[in-house]
């Protein structure tokens, strides 16, 4: 891995613009639990049945109990060396955009500043009518559930993208811009099968970027990667970040 990490670090140190796409594999190293409960169900229901606009309209209290369960398990998670290494790389490069499919907020907590959250933030609550849109990390939800908008009284909703919803237009536009302009594009801890996020690496490759995959497993994006590091983010990224810092001093 040393030779590949050095190649990637040298490319990043030369780059005027770089970007990264991260997925669940990065947060898994922080002990972030999977979307599903034991046996793939939560209280006998598939999570996809709860993470949807229809489910929220039918029973907002049930949906919020599910998200309260998820938030409670996320509350103990902290950024790992992979998260912190990405923040270090950002600090060393003139223009760096981090695009993530994760909703746990750990990239921002690690110090990353230019973060595009394609699927939202589980710590955000917002009013469907647009009255309230705020982040209250790790604060207990008010009881009884669901929390309600202080202005209109409607149930607030989690600030995440649900099944059947489009990605936020502004986030997708910024992510695509980053992919088009990146000279180096890191793909970290993602299977590369969820669209439209997976297409970002292909956009970057089509515009001449050096696409670097960091994943212990072969993925759907391996074929387009110029460099593939078969390692976990928490080991590969710190090695790259250290080399980038040395090259840019």
CA–CA dist 132, 139 (Å, integer): 16
Give me the sign of the Cα torsion angle 4, 9, 12, 13: negative
- Pair 226, 210: CB distance under 8 Å: yes
- Give the CATH number for residue 140: 3.30.1600.10
DSSP state of 114: S
The verdict on 218 and 207 lying in the same domain is: yes
Tens-digit pLDDT profile for residues 190-226? 988 888 998 999 999 999 999 999 999 999 999 999 9
Note whether 57 and 212 are within 8 A (CB). Answer: no
Asked if residue 17 lies in contact with residue 11, where contact means CB atoms within 8 angstroms, the answer is no
Q: Is the dihedral of CA 178, 183, 188, 191 positive or negative?
A: positive
Return the structure tokens found at 97.
Answer: 């955009």
156 and 193 share one domain: no
Sole residue written with tokens 């929220």 = 56
Do 71 and 95 sit in the same domain of this protein?
A: no
Q: Could you tell me if 217 and 241 lie in one domain?
A: yes
Question: Are residue 13 and residue 108 in the same domain, yes or no?
Answer: yes
Task: Please indicate, yes or no, whether residues 132 and 216 belong to a single structural domain of this protein.
Answer: no
Catalytic residue among 83, 107, 119, 207: 119
Q: Say if residue 233's pLDDT is above 60.
A: yes
Identify the CA nearest to 225 among candidates 77, 31, 64, 7.
7
Residue 38 has pLDDT above 60, yes or no: no
Residue 127, pLDDT > 90, answer yes
Where among 108, 135, 160 does a domain terminate?
160
CA 4 – CA 240 distance, rounded (Å) = 9
* Annotation marks residue 207 as catalytic: no
CA distances from 112 to 40, 99, 101, 117, 196 (A): 32, 11, 15, 12, 23
Q: Are residues 61 and 150 in the same domain?
A: yes
CATH number, domain of 202, equals: 3.40.50.1220
pLDDT, residue 105, reads 95
Q: Which of 160, 177, 210 delimits the end of a domain? A: 160
Q: How many domains does the chain have?
A: 2
Place of tokens 């990264």: 20
Domain range for 154 is 38-76+124-160
SS3 184: strand
Average pLDDT over residues 94-113: 96
Could you tell me if 155 and 173 lie in one domain?
no
3 state DSSP class of 139? coil
Helices 233-248 and 81-92, interaxial angle, to 10°? 20
Q: Which residue has the higher pLDDT, 154 or 134?
A: 154
Residues 177 and 238 in one domain: yes
243 and 151 within one domain: no
Q: 248 pLDDT exceeds 80?
A: no
> Could you say which of 106, 141, 160 is where a domain stops?
160
Same domain? 64 vs 102: no
Strands (E), 127-246: 133-135, 157-160, 184-188, 210-214, 227-229
Residue 1 confidence (pLDDT): 64
Number of alpha carbons in the 13 Å side-chain half-sphere of residue 22: 32
What is the mean pLDDT of the segment spanning 177-188? Answer: 98
Whether the per-residue pLDDT at 39 is higher than 70: the answer is: no
| CB count in 10 Å sphere of residue 195 | 9
The verdict on 241 and 149 lying in the same domain is no
């Amino acid at each position: 891995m040393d030779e590949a990490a050095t190649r990637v670090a040298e490319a990043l140190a030369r780059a005027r613009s770089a970007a990264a796409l991260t997925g669940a594999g990065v947060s898994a190293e922080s002990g972030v639990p999977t979307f599903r409960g034991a046996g793939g169900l939560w209280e006998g229901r598939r999570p996809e049945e709860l993470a949807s606009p229809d489910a929220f309209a039918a029973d907002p209290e049930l949906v919020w109990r599910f998200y309260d369960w998820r938030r409670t398990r996320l509350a103990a998670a902290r950024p790992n060396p992979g998260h912190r290494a990405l923040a270090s790389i950002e600090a060393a490069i003139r223009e760096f955009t981090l695009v993530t499919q994760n909703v746990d907020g750990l990239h921002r907590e690690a110090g990353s500043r230019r973060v595009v959250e394609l699927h939202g933030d589980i710590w955000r609550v917002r009013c469907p009518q647009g009255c309230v849109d705020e982040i209250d990390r790790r604060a207990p939800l008010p009881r009884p559930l669901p929390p309600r908008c202080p202005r209109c009284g409607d149930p607030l909703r989690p600030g995440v993208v649900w099944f059947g919803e489009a990605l936020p237009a502004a986030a997708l536009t910024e992510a695509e811009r980053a992919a088009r302009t990146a000279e180096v594009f890191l793909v970290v801890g993602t299977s590369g099968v969820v669209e439209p996020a997976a297409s970002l690496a292909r956009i970057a490759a089509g515009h001449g970027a050096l696409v670097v995959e960091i994943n212990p497993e072969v993925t759907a994006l391996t074929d387009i990667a110029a460099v593939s590091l078969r390692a976990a983010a928490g080991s590969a990224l710190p090695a790259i970040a250290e080399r980038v810092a040395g090259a840019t001093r």
